[in-house]
Structure 1
Amino acid sequence: MFVPRKVADRYREMINSIGFYPSFLSVGFLLFAVLTMSLEYVAPVEQIKSFISVVLVDSAENARTILSTLAGSIISLTVFSFSMVMVVLNSASASLSPRVVPGLITRKSHQMVLGFYLGSIIYSIIMLININKLEGGDTAIPSLGVLFSLVFGLISLGLFVFFIHSISKAIQVDNVLNGLFSQTKSEIKSIVDRQEEKPFTDFPDFTKWHSVNSTTEGYYKGVHTDKLCAILAEENICVYISVNQGYFTVKGYPFLKCDKDISNNDELIAKILDCFIFYIEEYISDHYRYGLTQISEIAVKAMSPGINDPGTAVKSIDMLSILLIERLSLNDTNYSFKHSEGNPLLFIHETSFDELLHDNFTPLRNYAKGDAYVMTNVLEAFKNILFVAHKDEDARSSLFNYLNAIVDDINEQVSNEYDRREITNMLNAIARISEQEGEKLVARFERHKV
């Protein structure tokens, strides 16, 4: 079914909002309150209430007191919890990276807790307004509803303890890094598994395909693969996405190529372009590249004078090396089928290994080039990548091209004899893996006279 891009964009904004799950839970509690009131005074329920009368309220005044106390107390918990969320987001943005904030906002466990608070407040208020005077002078007390409200209040206290524990862990840099690393590695592995399940190597010459220009501006973040493949199968065409995810496109930019000339078919072009996703936030679920970027930015932030945490930078570097090793298993061109039939219909330009090295290590190299400890660990990370990739000529060439840039920076910034000796030892370790290029690298470093 064809869904306009604006509808898809609004849907994405809604599900990634901090209020998405709280809204659903609030509606659920409201419906449960209505159901409770509709069954409160029926005969079978009255019989059940007589068996559990010891835990039921029999006084209108007590019921009002309990419900008012519960509603007020849970409102206080809600206000405090929302305040804690804002503190965490502000701290994460300041000390980690602004790009990790969307992932923290959309954490489902926090949203479920906040939603339970709001739902409990709504339920208690509905019960409170249903304590009514009857014609005979008696009072209709929703005693079963008051009992449920009390149970929800006790659960809210337990959830509050869980929330404080979870939110305190969320701000710890090790937990943030581990979460980013696990999710990024999982995204890379899922692509590797898809490519291994149905391998394809006979890629066409995309330079001869016909360009399709963008009709909007923004950051290209992904594509609705299934919907686009269905359109391509129906029209019997193939499409190649020639830009990296995260690339900023402007109107008229040729970011697609098609094996047939469809420039005169405006309706088909509109349908194809409506399958593409444009927004600002970076979610690892869209592409593993965003996970690498966020880990790299945490490393850079850790090296800032206000934070000065080289240990975090080193841990981030080690994680980047493992993820880049995983990336070596991917083809530089990704592809998608319509179900499992025939040849691929959609080809996607993957960010190359060389581009990933540049994008993720260049900021770190520029900010930490004067820190011998961090730069030694950068060299060690490259040594570990090279140990796996030394038989891959393209990857080895990219690694040594970048290592030359690192050595040049170290030569300019590091003059201490002890530090230079440690760096020389690491370069010699690299030379033992790839002798010819490694010896040139050592010679390049030793030519610099302090």
Structure 2
Amino acid sequence: MYRFLLWLKQPSNTLWVKPTLGALLALIIAFSSYWIDRWLPAQTLPKISIDIVDDLLNIIASSMLAVSTFSLSIMIAAFSSVASNATPRATELIIADGTTRTAISSFLSAFIYAVIAKILLGLGIFGTNGLFILFGCIVILLLYLVVVLIRWVQTLSGLGRLKNTLDRIQQKATESLRYYRNNPNLGTAAKITDLKQVRSIYSQKIGYLININLSGLQHWAEDNDCSLHIMVRVGNWLMPNKAMVLVQRDHFQDIDFDEINRFFIVDSQRKFEQDPSFGLSVLSEVAQRALSPAINDSGTALTVLATLAQLLIERPIEKEDDRYFDRLSIVPLDEGIFIEESIAPIARDGATNINIGIAILKTLATIYHQAPTVELSLAAQKEAENTLQRSIEILSFENDKRLISDVYQQLFGYKLSQ
């Protein structure tokens, strides 16, 4: 069940949900007009011409099919634009856009409603009451479609554009980073007290760890009267020779250790949920693509660097780490990976650009001075040293070398020995 719910959370797996629910609702509303018509006494409601109702249904049926087709083509074009101008990893965020899904579902549902209503109307089963109810439903539907169309037009103005994509990536990265900052141990509280009484459990799959079912592990540990020390974090690359969990127990008879693997979800692609560094990595990919010779858009790279600095210096809410799982512990996350997966690739790709090099040093200096943890601060300092050394080796113009060295000294307060 846990894997199924996790599967449903993926936007690409739930494109059918809203259209299906909308179609069912359209069927219910269409048939309810007939049922209410049979329940009410004859001539209770005003008389409406059947031609008016039929004309309105014709307009809805013909226009909504065209609008649905057009909207789907726009969405596919947006996917292609994001994949080519930003990064393919960001297409999932466009698929997850609620306004887009609501618009397409509404247009399809309106088309289905109009077709079903026309069929019922053609059967001649509606009396005076039924025609009026049908007319009322059409008016409400038209008002709703006007609102949806206005929102849809507003969404179309930004869908697939680079700024819109960057904003979505930043939002996702912020959510995962905030969750990590406010709950770095993921609610685990136990400690391994005796390393002699442990057994290592290895991954049975190869790929990225995208989710850990901590509740399932807690129940398993309670049922088997043991403690578990998780040796991996979401986003890590798993392979059969890498210890994934340490099981602590007085004895290890009558335990099915293979069950532990089912609580670790492995996939070939990383996901944003539970992975605080993936959003940073996706932002970095956008900057790397912008710095490629084919695009040569240093402005986008500068925007990404400013966004990364803003994300990495955000401090956690002052509260104690929530602890739900008293039989679990987890290895601390090496926060140096935040720099390694975000700024370091940009520094390598932009090493020949003096402006990018200076911007990277300013970004790293901001993180160095304002990072919420010492570990992240030291990682920023180390990457700044690497950036300076790389620039000095790659840049050919002596004034550029001197300039970036002076910037480093101003930002970090000392001169790096060559």
Same fold (TM over 0.5): yes
Aligned counterparts, 1:199-238, within 5 A:
209-238=198-227
1:34 aligns with 2:22: no
Query: In the TM superposition, what is the alpha-carbon distance from 1:132 to its structure 2 partner?
Result: 4.2
CA RMSD of the aligned region, Å? 3.5
1:106 aligns with 2:87: no
Q: Which moved more, 1:231-240 or 1:312-321?
A: 231-240
Q: Which moved more, 1:115-124 or 1:274-283?
A: 274-283
Q: Which position in structure 2 is the counterpart of 1:325?
A: 313
Q: Over residues 237-287 of structure 1, what are the superposed CA-to-partner deviations in whole Å (9 max), with x where a residue is unaligned?
A: 2222222323333456432222238876564532x3222223345442332
Q: Which moved more, 1:197-206 or 1:101-110?
A: 197-206
CA distance in structure 2 between the aligned counterparts of 1:242 and 1:316, rounded to whole angstroms: 32
Give the alignment partner of residue 239 of structure 1, picking from 215, 220, 228: 228
Query: In the TM superposition, what is the alpha-carbon distance from 1:213 to its structure 2 partner?
Result: 1.9
SS in 1 for 2:19: helix
TM-aligned CA distance change 1:348 to 1:32, over 3 Å: farther
Contact in 2 for aligned 1:225/1:336 (Cα 8 Å): no
1:337 aligns with 2:321: no
TM-aligned CA distance change 1:290 to 1:346, over 3 Å: same
Query: In the TM superposition, what is the alpha-carbon distance from 1:211 to its structure 2 partner?
Result: 0.9
Contact in 1 for aligned 2:209/2:270 (Cα 8 Å): no
Q: Which position in structure 2 is the counterpart of 1:156?
A: 145
1:287 aligns with 2:272: no
Q: Which moved more, 1:24-33 or 1:257-266?
A: 257-266
TM-aligned CA distance change 1:166 to 1:390, over 3 Å: closer
- Letter of the structure 2 residue corresponding to residue 58 of structure 1: S
SS in 2 for 1:284: coil
SS in 1 for 2:345: helix
Name structure 2 gaps, 5 residues minimum: none
1:431 aligns with 2:404: no
TM-aligned CA distance change 1:105 to 1:134, over 3 Å: closer
TM-aligned CA distance change 1:233 to 1:36, over 3 Å: farther
1:403 aligns with 2:392: no
TM-aligned CA distance change 1:390 to 1:43, over 3 Å: closer
- Letter of the structure 2 residue corresponding to residue 123 of structure 1: Y
Query: In the TM superposition, what is the alpha-carbon distance from 1:378 to its structure 2 partner?
Result: 0.5
Q: Which moved more, 1:81-90 or 1:209-218?
A: 209-218
Give the alignment partner of residue 376 of structure 1, picking from 358, 366, 383: 358
Query: In the TM superposition, what is the alpha-carbon distance from 1:118 to its structure 2 partner?
Result: 1.4
Query: In the TM superposition, what is the alpha-carbon distance from 1:70 to its structure 2 partner?
Result: 0.8
- Aligned identity (percent) is 17
TM-aligned CA distance change 1:244 to 1:205, over 3 Å: farther
Q: Which position in structure 1 is the counterpart of 2:266?
A: 278
TM-aligned CA distance change 1:388 to 1:63, over 3 Å: closer
Q: Which position in structure 2 is the counterpart of 1:77?
A: 67
Q: Over residues 410-443 of structure 1, what are the superposed CA-to-partner deviations in whole Å (9 max), with x where a residue is unaligned?
A: 01222334433431332112332xxxxx33x2x3
Contact in 1 for aligned 2:182/2:316 (Cα 8 Å): no
Q: Over residues 323-377 of structure 1, what are the superposed CA-to-partner deviations in whole Å (9 max), with x where a residue is unaligned?
A: 33347999xxx98523xxxxx3223335412222222223212211111111101
1:256 aligns with 2:238: no
TM-aligned CA distance change 1:19 to 1:133, over 3 Å: closer
TM-aligned CA distance change 1:117 to 1:219, over 3 Å: same
- Letter of the structure 1 residue corresponding to residue 341 of structure 2: D
Figure out how many residues of one structure are paired with residues of the other and give that number: 416
CA distance in structure 2 between the aligned counterparts of 1:195 and 1:138, rounded to whole angstroms: 65
TM-aligned CA distance change 1:369 to 1:130, over 3 Å: same
CA distance in structure 2 between the aligned counterparts of 1:368 and 1:286, rounded to whole angstroms: 30
SS in 1 for 2:277: helix
SS in 2 for 1:220: strand
CA distance in structure 2 between the aligned counterparts of 1:315 and 1:45, rounded to whole angstroms: 67
Contact in 2 for aligned 1:212/1:263 (Cα 8 Å): no
Q: Over residues 292-327 of structure 1, what are the superposed CA-to-partner deviations in whole Å (9 max), with x where a residue is unaligned?
A: 111111111111223222122112112222333347
Q: Which moved more, 1:194-203 or 1:276-285?
A: 194-203
Query: In the TM superposition, what is the alpha-carbon distance from 1:203 to its structure 2 partner?
Result: 6.8
Query: In the TM superposition, what is the alpha-carbon distance from 1:408 to its structure 2 partner?
Result: 2.2
Contact in 1 for aligned 2:200/2:245 (Cα 8 Å): yes
Contact in 1 for aligned 2:100/2:152 (Cα 8 Å): yes
